[in-house]
Amino acid sequence: RDIFHGQGFKTCVWKQFSASSKKQTQEKMVRYIRDLHNGIKQVEKDIQYFNTPRKVVTFIHSLFWSGF
């Protein structure tokens, strides 16, 4: 029984660190990094939009008084 338990543990570890698992992890990291870059680009675009104090004030007013 302990032999099979040990084999199951080895199989679990092998699956965790096998090449396909590494590839999947790498793909997830690439997707995560791409999403971060897209978020940074969006923030930069938003910052460029608020280049004057008037636009900032208008935006704040739209947030607070949009429901009234």
User: At residue 30, what is the residue type?
Assistant: V
**According to the model, what pLDDT value does residue 43 have?**
87
The secondary structure of residue 52, as a DSSP letter, is S
**According to the model, what pLDDT value does residue 10 have?**
65
- Give the span between the Cα atoms of 48 and 13, in whole angstroms: 49
Please write the tens of the pLDDT for every residue from 8-66: 666 666 666 667 777 888 888 899 999 999 999 998 988 888 888 898 888 888 888 76
- Give the span between the Cα atoms of 18 and 38, in whole angstroms: 30
Residue 1 pLDDT class (50, 70, 90 cuts) = very low
